Amino acid sequence: MNKYIVGLDIGTTKIACFIGERSQNGKIRILGFGKTESVGVERGVVRNIRDTSDSIRRAVSEASEMAKYDVEEVYVGIAGQHIKSRSNTGSIMVPAEHRQIEKSDVDQLIEDQYRVMLEPGEEIIHVFPQSFTVDNDKLEPEINPVGVAGKCLMANFHIVTGNAANVRNIRDAVEEAGLKIKGVVLEPIASAYAVLDDRDKNAGVALVDIGGGTTDIAIFQDGIIRHTSVLPLAGNVITNDIRESCKILKHQAESLKTKFGSCVPNLVNQDDIIAIPGIRNQPPREISVKTLAGIIKARMQLILEQVQYEIQLSGYERQLIAGVVLTGGGARLKNIKEFAEVTIGIDSRIGTPDEHLDQQGSITFEDLGHPMYATGIGLVIYGLLETERQQRDAAEEKSDAEDAPAVGPTPVPEVDDTEEEVVESPKAKKKKEKKIEEGKKGKNFADSVKNWLTDKFTEPDLGE
């Protein structure tokens, strides 16, 4: 089993590859990192497989060279407006030989959910158990169903689906780059591993990942994923608004947004002016920072209002004790934390992946702490946890096999051919002697008859 885990974030604006391992202090050490412009991806969906494959190859090659490790398998993030979620309830009868619910019973119930009826063209990406019920008795979230006595196991599930063609395009792009997919992970789930901890998930938290093409939402409560959603609005629409309003090039608009952009016009210097170089000797264009902030605010307000609606739709609006955690490239806009609190009406903070990184071992640690890398680093953490879980399961299966009694044909007892002395009772011995005596008398009588017949019919020898 590979020591290193590779996460591949295929985003709308960038493709980033991370190679990492578990350090001795339990944190994540990033050994290799590569990033390139994303080509062929639109709003999180791979449109041109060949172009995307070339971008993947460049990012992976850069990370591989830095880590001095040949990448073969990767964990890939998936997003896009084609992502949907639904709820489902399933149940199974526990086998009669199981006096308690076993892990195999829970695994079977989860596996059954992958066979539920879907709309044409959909594919299941994740199945998340929400709650378990044993013999009509609902278990508390902290109670593990394994070990509970019962005959009927029932559970509610949160199922994440995606368009099968879009999922296949991601697989084809990765495989064309010469790589094998170890797992496909919904991007907000991956980001949650990088910027949240168990306290956040237990208290109740809404993760909002504002990327380039989509804004991804994941809501946790009692340590369980409760709601997921993907909005087709994110950083790129803000960049396009700036480009169209200021009549400038796209890369200039992106630079303005990241360097000078703010969500709150009242908090910027009203007199600051930005000069933008003209094209082909044209005079530079000038735009005030306040005007730029007004453009950004209008679009960001629309995005955050959609986020607020999704949180209300989930039914967990009043249970988010840990508030809203903003991450992704869009989370670095100035004053976005304050603007989100006003718009959504819930306490907010910026989530960065640096708290899970080993500061001593990770390369370019300061750069890796950017919220835009939350998904890629989260994929590495997800892969490490999944690998460690598989190792534990394999160890338990091996232990169970060693403890189990040997199963095989019933051994046939050896037969001792040595004659044994039989001890007869006095009665049996006397009976046996009587039979022998009678046999002798019978034999004597027969001999007498035989001799008489011989004498009677044999001619005398008269001699010559």
* pLDDT mean over 228-245: 93
Q: Residue 282 gets which letter from DSSP?
A: P
142 confidence band (pLDDT: 50, 70, 90): confident
CA 382/CA 189 separation, integer angstroms: 9
415 confidence band (pLDDT: 50, 70, 90): very low
Domain range for residue 378? 1-72+353-401
Element holding 395 (H helix, E strand):
helix 374-403
Same-domain check for residues 202 and 341: yes
394 confidence band (pLDDT: 50, 70, 90): confident
Burial 75-108 (b: 16+ CB within 10 A, else e): bbbbbbbbbbbeeeebebebeeeeeebbeebbee
* pLDDT mean over 314-332: 95
pLDDT in tens, 353-375: 988 888 776 676 667 888 999 99
268 confidence band (pLDDT: 50, 70, 90): confident
At residue 270, what are phi and psi to the nearest 5 degrees? -65, -20
* Domain annotation covers residue 184: no
Per the structure, how many domains does the chain have? Answer: 3
Same-domain check for residues 279 and 395: no
* Domain annotation covers residue 419: no
Same-domain check for residues 212 and 314: yes
**Mean pLDDT lowest for which of 37-41, 124-128, 399-403, 425-429?**
425-429
Same-domain check for residues 223 and 322: yes
* pLDDT mean over 126-132: 95
Position 400 scores a pLDDT of: 67
* Domain annotation covers residue 296: yes
- Name the token pair of 152: 């009927």
Same-domain check for residues 250 and 107: no
Same-domain check for residues 332 and 206: yes
Q: Considering the chain, what percentage of its residues have pLDDT values greater than 70?
A: 84
* Domain annotation covers residue 413: no
Q: To 10 degrees, the CA torsion angle through 181, 189, 387, 379?
A: 60
Question: What is the average pLDDT value for the chain, to the nearest integer?
Answer: 86
Q: Is the pLDDT of residue 423 over 60?
A: no
Higher pLDDT, 436 or 350: 350
Question: Interhelix angle for 235-246 vs 289-314, to 10°?
Answer: 150
Same-domain check for residues 309 and 332: yes
* Domain annotation covers residue 458: no
Same-domain check for residues 268 and 358: no
Position 361 scores a pLDDT of: 66
CB 105 within 8 A of CB 92: yes
* Domain annotation covers residue 60: yes
* Domain annotation covers residue 414: no
Q: Considering the chain, what percentage of its residues have pLDDT values greater than 90?
A: 68
The edge-to-edge listing of strands for the beta sheet with 215-221 is: 224-231, 215-221, 205-210, 324-327, 348-350
Q: Is the pLDDT of residue 171 over 50?
A: yes
87 confidence band (pLDDT: 50, 70, 90): very high
Q: Residue 109: which residues within 8 A CB-CB, separation 6 or more?
A: 90, 91, 92, 153, 155
Q: Which amino acid is it at 355?
A: E
At residue 227, what are phi and psi to the nearest 5 degrees? -155, 140
Q: Is the pLDDT of residue 304 over 90?
A: yes
Same-domain check for residues 334 and 376: no
Residue 110 maps to which CATH number? Answer: 3.30.1490.110
Same-domain check for residues 372 and 244: no
* pLDDT mean over 60-88: 94
* Domain annotation covers residue 176: no
Q: Is 148 helix (H, G, I), strand (E, B) or coil?
A: coil
Same-domain check for residues 208 and 260: yes
CB 45 within 8 A of CB 80: yes
